[in-house]
Chains A and B, each alone.
Chain A
């Protein structure tokens, strides 16, 4: 289908073979690269923040303290919610006049009236923040599983060798938990590459096209403009991209594991 000029909303139209025309058009289209940039920005920052905060929380919750279990339950709550519900919920939080987000920011420093999801500079960060809030618990849980699997005798041996806490973290904890962290990031990366619902509900791809990630553009081409052939080519490109990136990631992960 991706090699044709097919439109699903035009009954009786003559379907022509167009070769690689759709692919060439997509790869040369500035708008498509902008959506890819928006996707890359979203993926990079969400993965980075989720890795750092997720690992940090996992290290915290790996310690034994009173209220550990309740805290774990509270932290994992966001990822149990539907993305659409989360988006609506955060739309209210971000509301510039009555939302709690602006109130909290202005409590510390008076920025005056500002809007997170309506501002070109801030909107990309608004979706990063919400996704991080929602999905950091996932990274945290997987890291926590990794931390729990580290045998205690490794730390005991390190202490005998007079390794300090930082050295123990660097040489025992981090290498042990890294494959788990990378696995969590692989799942999150795949999810975020095709992120749709959360962003649509929160910003609709706007303002302008600043948060128009690739899947939103694909949906518009496929099911609003009904450019079926063209959007099929776009879907193939997206699949090949994520498949390729995923494979590279898995190879890196295996190399780290082997070490």
Chain B
């Protein structure tokens, strides 16, 4: 009898261990950047766990280390992540080096069609080679570089009058970079509510992608092209065109004359800090941050307005945002695909937007109530209609770091001329494409 009891107890223990092991294995790990939308995704994904019983685990990496951490993981064939929300520029490397699972068959089987998603986001976040119907990600988070401004300061009568006197037109949201400069320089060093304020917080960061994202906002507004449209990778006369040089000089002018002291290595967080602390009248940043700014106790609640990147000689905005991919080294690809299938549902996408994520689903964006749903919704639509992305080549990190160096050396480091910076950039990029066998 004693022996029988022991056997029963042993069997029960084994059963419990087995079932708890099975439960423990029903989880997937999602990797993304550590920022506000990630918190919204955690909230959203609780529904997925409720529906499927699959537990969600996360690893969110701060932006400055995001690319390093994730790309090292992918390059080493790591199994940490099952689902990765990777930057748009990674799609080339993800596809070519086999880091991401190709999703065409899965989409076909599950009835997920890319026609349901906003075309520019499909192009940017999902396809490789660009524009072909080869999908390696589901558009997850639409984003673009835009501007926030102090609506309450813009509304001040004395400032309105001073601006009108100086420039001959009312102080309002700038629609061109010339106007942007006028507004920034107007606020630079001005005392408002007893404190000295500055014009704008713009991207100047050197280490990852910051200054490139900022400078390209100006370049695109000047009609920048990465290459000869008829001859791929032919960059001479395009990257270093007169317009590109003018745009780069303009960006430097804004940095030199309109930013707070010490704003020499600033990106998302530094721009947010400068804006929220009331140092600057405007900030350049991603749409992803606008829900947080809009709710901020100091600058939210109607004190801030938002607008798309101004135009100059052309329309353009720097693309941000990410696609959601399944990591090919994952042992739980089936569970990861279940998550993507769930995330693609229109009702989930609608909730995603309501929680602070930027859906790319047409049902959400084309909804008649969308524009009025948030103060930044119209700007988001405007921006997404004119976005342009950096190279998405497999060698994009080399291309990015080269641009970081050249433009930072010129804009912040006062080294050489804009022409020399862009000429050197063409040399660097040519060397990279040659090493990659593209030239």
Given A206-B206, A209-B413, A225-B398, is A95 in contact with B75 using a C-beta cutoff of 8 Å?
Answer: no
Q: Is the CB of A120 within 8 A of B414?
A: yes
Give the complex CA separation of A209 and B394 in angstroms: 26
Knowing A9-B97, A224-B68, A225-B401, the reply to whether A209 touches B263 (Cβ < 8 A) is: no
Distance in angstroms from A34 CB to nearest chain B CB is 9
Interface range, A side: 20 to 34
Report yes or no: B413 in contact with A207, Cβ–Cβ below 8 A: yes
Q: If A206-B408, A209-B413 touch, does A96 touch B97 (CB 8 Å cutoff)?
A: no
Whether A96 contacts B262 in the complex (CB less than 8 A), given A208-B409, A225-B401, A227-B398, comes out as yes
A209-B97 in contact (CB<8A): no
For B71, B397, B413, the residue with the greatest tally of chain A CB atoms inside 10 Å of its CB is: B413
A117 near B264 with CB under 8 A, answer yes
| Cβ-defined contact, A9 with B75, below 8 A | yes
When each residue 358-377 of chain B gets 1 if its CB lies under 8 Å from chain A and 0 otherwise, what string results? 00000000000000000000
CB neighbors of B among A171-196 (8 A): none
Q: Does A162 contact B (CB under 8 A)?
A: no
On whether the beta carbons of A120 and B265 are closer than 8 Å, the reply is: no
Question: A224 to chain B: which residues have CB within 8 Å?
Answer: 68, 397, 401
A118 in contact with B265 given A11-B97, A11-B98 (CB within 8 Å) = yes
Contacts of A31 in B (CB 8 A): 405
Q: Which residue of B lies closest to A208 (CB)?
A: B413
Whether A205 lies near B75 (C-beta < 8 A) is no
Q: In the complex, which residues of chain A have a beta carbon less than 8 angstroms from the beta carbon of B261?
A: 96-97, 113-115, 118
B385 interface contact, C-beta 8 A? no
Within 8 A of A (CB), among B118-171: none
A209 x B265 contact (CB < 8 A)? no
Encode B401-420 as 1/0 by CB contact (under 8 A) with A: 10001001110111100000
Chain B contacts for A210, CB-based, 8 A: 413
Partner of B262, one of A10, A117, A204, A205: A117
- Nearest-Cβ distance from residue A79 to partner chain B, whole angstroms: 26
Closest A-chain residue to B206, C-beta based? A206
Is the CB of B21 closer than 8 A to any CB of chain A? no
For chain A, residues 202 to 247, give those with C-beta under 8 angstroms from any C-beta of chain B. 203-210, 220, 223-227
Q: A95-B262, A97-B262 are in contact. Are A209 and B405 (CB under 8 A)?
A: yes
Residue contact B413 to A120, C-beta cutoff 8 Å: yes
- Is A5 interfacial (CB-CB < 8 Å)? yes
Instruction: Say yes or no: is A8 at the interface (Cβ < 8 Å to chain B).
Output: yes
Chain A: CB-nearest residue to B97: A11
Give the dominant DSSP class at A's interface.
Answer: loop
A223-B76 Cα distance, complex, nearest whole Å: 12
> Closest chain A residue to B428 by CB distance?
A31
Contacts of A9 in B (CB 8 A): 71, 75, 93, 97
Tell me, yes or no, whether B207 is within 8 Å of chain A by CB. yes
B260 at the interface (CB under 8 A from A): yes
Complex contact B401–A206 (CB within 8 A): no
Chain B residues within 8 Å of A209, by CB: 405, 408-409, 413, 415
The chain B residue sitting closest to A115, CB to CB, is B262
Contact B260 A97 (CB under 8 A): yes
**Cβ < 8 Å to B, chain A residues 117-165:** 117-120
Report B-chain residues with C-beta under 8 Å of the C-beta of A206.
206, 264-265, 408, 412-413
B435 interface hit (Cβ, 8 Å)? yes
Q: Which residues of A contact B412 (CB under 8 A)?
A: 118, 120, 206-208
Q: What B residues does A94 contact at CB under 8 A?
A: 262
- Shortest Cβ distance from B276 into chain A, in angstroms? 15
A31 to B431, CA, bound (A): 14
Quote the shortest CB–CB distance from A248 to chain B (angstroms).
Answer: 32
Q: Is the CB of B414 within 8 A of A204?
A: no
Could you say which of B265, B408, B435 contacts A5, with CB atoms under 8 Å apart? B435
A125 to chain B, nearest CB (A): 15
Residues of B within 8 A of A117 (CB): 262, 264-265
Q: For the complex, give the distance between the alpha carbons of A117 and B72 in Å.
A: 30
Q: Give, as a whole number of angstroms, the nearest-CB distance from B397 to chain A.
A: 6
Contacts of A119 in B (CB 8 A): 264
Name the distance in Å between B188's Cβ and chain A's nearest Cβ: 12
A94 CA to B405 CA in the complex, in Å? Answer: 24
Give the Cβ gap from B191 to chain A, nearest Cβ, in Å: 14
For the complex of A and B, 5 pairs with smallest distance between CB atoms: A208-B413, A118-B264, A115-B262, A96-B262, A208-B409
Please list 8 pairs of residues, one from A and one from B, whose beta carbons are closer than 8 Å in the complex, sorted by A's number: A9-B97, A11-B98, A94-B262, A95-B262, A117-B264, A118-B261, A204-B207, A226-B397
Residues of A within 8 A of B (CB): 5, 8-11, 31, 94-97, 113-115, 117-120, 203-210, 220, 223-227
Q: Which residues of B contact A (CB under 8 A)?
A: 68, 71-72, 75, 77, 93, 97-98, 205-207, 260-265, 279, 394, 397-398, 401, 405, 408-410, 412-415, 435
* Known interface pairs A9-B75, A118-B263, A209-B408; 7 further A-B residue pairs with C-beta atoms within 8 A, sorted by A's residue number: A5-B435, A96-B262, A114-B261, A204-B207, A207-B206, A207-B408, A225-B397
